[in-house]
Amino acid sequence: MEGLEQPRKRQRKALDGSTRSNEGVNKPYPSSEPDSDSDSELPQYLQPLQDHKTSTASDNFYLDTIDRTVLDFDFSKECSVSLSKTNVYACLVCGKYFQGRSVTSPAFNHAINQHHHVYLNLKTEGFYILPDNYKLTDPETLRKLDDIIAVLNPTYKLEEIDTIPQQALDLKRIPYDVGYVGLNNVSSSSDYANVVIQLMCHIDPIRRFYMALNYSDDGHSYSPLNAEFGLLMRKLWSNKLYKPHVSPHELLKLISVKQQQSPKGVLVWLLNHLHMGLVKAIDTNKKQKKSSIISKSVQGSIKITRIAVESKDINGKTQFITKDSGTVHSKTKFWLLTVKPPTSPLFSLGLKVPEVSLETLLEKYNGVCQTHVNETEVHQYKLTGHLPPYMIIHIDRNLEGGGDISPTVVKYPRVLDMSPYGDSRANYALVANIVFKINPETKTRSWMIHLQKTSTEWVTIQDLQVRKCEPELMFLDTSYLQLWKRIDVTVNNNK
Ligand SMILES: [Zn+2]
């Protein structure tokens, strides 16, 4: 360890007045402990005490000191003293995280100083008694701790995924709706990302895939983003939560949200990166696959006709004339369809809020309607091929543009017929709707999501708040991202 720069240095603490001398010991914490529950790579003087005991009847005494109300495994798993992320244990008495089990480790010192004795290795999920330093191995004892593992890292057998109960009890025995729980607002500014996470967690084939990801252990190496998203998904759908909410803290650290202060930016980033991570993970040996559960669930194809135009001044009005040359056809994939409601200047005069139907806005995609993209080009769009099981529609209210935000109410049908915009018949029903409200004083936006729970029941989730929602009044809210589920074909739920 000599010569290595360590984050912190500290005197080895006296061990409860024992005869062990600590004089002359001024060694830093090992910063590179092996990522396991073994300290075997440590120098001899840092090795754990060797007086291993086996589980005894006194285990029950220790188990009684566990305080489940302070346990929270949603945050960064790093030692509260050394800030190291390797070999970290949770003290199950006070909930704090400490590194190592060796005699100079923060966990060991904590056990001595605070008389807190039960620890959980956050990586290997092994339970230990410190400072006696033995692992709990008695099956009967471990069974009593199953609920703690279910909070740290919930896993599901395939058959469980389809039979998750709709309601469960939290630690205070208060019922909550499984899968419809709040998300913590991290740093008071993650509500725009929280609604996207909720939306993604309620796309059924994606939910089933990620809930099975941990259990299947199929040998693929998934990206940190996919692993973290999967863990959050499994927690959000857990019926064994201690509190009826989950924190997306660790996932948000992986999402590049710096410049993306709107849900659309976060959603597209998340779809792209989850998809790319899955494609890479699955195709290490085989021929490159292009699809993932993400693309199979929400990605569609679109035909774009680019037409060159020139503007002419005719009778004082600018008109666009199609040039003879320069019509180009191309096909591309899309994650979401963007429609743009008008920004009405009348609204600012206090007149009635304008309304427009979603079908009118979607005419952009009928293959005939022309969209001006710049002075010299117009586009025609038409959906092509099989339409995806889920369709995401982005109602562009100019949030990113910095100009006036369109307040237009977008009315939408109960069943959305997409056949005018594609090659074939396809009916969709709304299953999620991300909306925002603007605080008239601070001008800040707050985000929430309406989610369909059953055929007749909807809930609104805004960060930690989960409340019932009246579907008949939902269209009055300022819709921004909508998730539509195809209802004319059976959505394939298999991986
Ligand atoms: Zn403690």
- Do the domains 158-286 and 44-152 match in fold? no
Q: Could you tell me the distance, in angstroms and rounded to a whole number, from the CA of residue 127 to the centre of ligand 1?
A: 14
Q: Could you tell me the distance, in angstroms and rounded to a whole number, from the CA of residue 108 to the centre of ligand 1?
A: 10
Q: For residue 458, is pLDDT > 90?
A: yes
Q: Can you tell me which residue has the tokens 């967690």?
A: 201
pLDDT tens digits, residue range 198-227?
A: 999 999 999 999 999 875 455 667 889 999
pLDDT given at position 353: 77
Q: Could you tell me the distance, in angstroms and rounded to a whole number, from the CA of residue 101 to the centre of ligand 1?
A: 14
Q: Could you tell me the distance, in angstroms and rounded to a whole number, from the CA of residue 43 to the centre of ligand 1?
A: 26
Q: How would you label 145-162 residue by residue, b for 16+ Cβ within 10 Å and e otherwise?
A: beebbbbbebbbeeeebe
Q: Could you tell me the distance, in angstroms and rounded to a whole number, from the CA of residue 115 to the centre of ligand 1?
A: 8
Q: What is the mean pLDDT of residues 382-394?
A: 95
pLDDT given at position 286: 61
Predicted TM-score (pTM) of the model is 0.84
Amino acid letter, residue 204: D
Least confident segment among 23-37, 311-325, 414-428 = 23-37
Q: What is the mean pLDDT of residues 39-45?
A: 47
Sign, CA torsion 340/344/350/353: negative
- DSSP assignment string, 433-476: EEEEEE-TTT--EEEEEEEE-SSS-EEEEETTEEEEE-GGGGGG
Q: For residue 365, is pLDDT > 80?
A: yes
Q: How many residues does the chain have?
A: 495
Token pair listed for 308:
């060159």
How far CA 354 is from CA of 127, 185, 406, in Å, comes to: 61, 33, 10
Residue ranges per domain, the chain?
44-152, 158-286
CATH 3.30.420.40 fits 158-286, yes or no: no
Q: Report how far residue 135's alpha carbon sits from residue 118's, in angstroms, rounded to the nearest whole number.
A: 10
pLDDT given at position 406: 85
Least confident segment among 216-225, 256-265, 345-354, 446-455 = 345-354
Q: What is the mean pLDDT of residues 156-172?
A: 92
Rg (CA), the chain: 28
Q: What is the mean pLDDT of residues 432-440?
A: 91
% the chain with pLDDT above 70: 81
Q: Report how far residue 212's alpha carbon sits from residue 494's, in angstroms, rounded to the nearest whole number.
A: 11
Q: Beta strands 182-183 and 245-246: pairing type?
A: parallel
Amino acid letter, residue 15: L
CATH T-level topology, domain 44-152: Herpes Virus-1 (3.30.40)
pLDDT given at position 490: 60
Q: For residue 323, is pLDDT > 90?
A: no
Q: For residue 494, is pLDDT > 50?
A: no
Q: Could you tell me the distance, in angstroms and rounded to a whole number, from the CA of residue 124 to the centre of ligand 1?
A: 19
Report whether 177 contacts 245 (CB < 8 A).
no
pLDDT given at position 362: 96
Least confident segment among 118-132, 211-225, 410-424 = 211-225
pLDDT given at position 344: 62
pLDDT given at position 250: 92
**Higher local confidence (pLDDT), 64 or 345:** 64
- Examine residue 131 and say whether the peptide bond preceding it is cis (omega within 30 degrees of 0): yes
Q: For residue 54, is pLDDT > 70?
A: no
Tally of CB atoms within 10 A around 240 = 17
Q: Report how far residue 180's alpha carbon sits from residue 198's, in angstroms, rounded to the nearest whole number.
A: 9
Q: What is the mean pLDDT of residues 102-106?
A: 93
Q: Which of 378, 382, 381, 380 is nearest to 308 (CA)?
A: 378
Q: Could you tell me the distance, in angstroms and rounded to a whole number, from the CA of residue 116 to the centre of ligand 1?
A: 5
Q: Report how far residue 134's alpha carbon sits from residue 246's, in angstroms, rounded to the nearest whole number.
A: 32
Residues with Cβ–ion distance below 5 A, ligand 1: 91, 93-94, 116
Q: Could you tell me the distance, in angstroms and rounded to a whole number, from the CA of residue 68 to the centre of ligand 1?
A: 12
Q: Can you tell me which residue has the tokens 């959603």?
A: 267
pLDDT tens digits, residue range 279-297?
A: 887 655 566 668 999 999 9
Q: Report how far residue 470's alpha carbon sits from residue 467's, in angstroms, rounded to the nearest whole number.
A: 10
Q: Could you tell me the distance, in angstroms and rounded to a whole number, from the CA of residue 102 to the centre of ligand 1?
A: 16
pLDDT given at position 285: 57
pLDDT given at position 345: 57
Sign, CA torsion 12/14/16/21: positive
How far CA 75 is from CA of 82, 96, 226, 464, in Å, comes to: 16, 11, 17, 16
Q: Could you tell me the distance, in angstroms and rounded to a whole number, from the CA of residue 119 to the centre of ligand 1?
A: 9
Q: Report how far residue 12's alpha carbon sits from residue 60's, in angstroms, rounded to the nearest whole number.
A: 31
**Higher local confidence (pLDDT), 152 or 37:** 152
Q: Could you tell me the distance, in angstroms and rounded to a whole number, from the CA of residue 283 to the centre of ligand 1?
A: 44
36 CB-near residues (< 8 Å, 6+ apart): 87, 123, 124
Q: Could you tell me the distance, in angstroms and rounded to a whole number, from the CA of residue 41 to the centre of ligand 1?
A: 26
**Higher local confidence (pLDDT), 9 or 286:** 286
Q: Map 194-253 to HEC letters.
A: HHHHHHHHCCHHHHHHHHHHHHHCCCCCCCHHHHHHHHHHHHHCCCCCCCCEECCHHHHH
pLDDT given at position 31: 40
Residue 51 burial (C-beta neighbours within 10 Å; 0-12, 13-18, 19+): exposed
Q: Could you tell me the distance, in angstroms and rounded to a whole number, from the CA of residue 97 to the centre of ligand 1?
A: 8
Q: Could you tell me the distance, in angstroms and rounded to a whole number, from the CA of residue 142 to the centre of ligand 1?
A: 20
Q: Could you tell me the distance, in angstroms and rounded to a whole number, from the CA of residue 107 to the centre of ligand 1?
A: 9
Amino acid letter, residue 475: F
pLDDT given at position 259: 44
Least confident segment among 150-159, 227-236, 314-323, 332-341 = 314-323
Q: Which of 299, 289, 125, 135 is nearest to 214 (CA)?
A: 125
Q: What is the mean pLDDT of residues 146-160?
A: 94
Q: For residue 12, is pLDDT > 50?
A: no
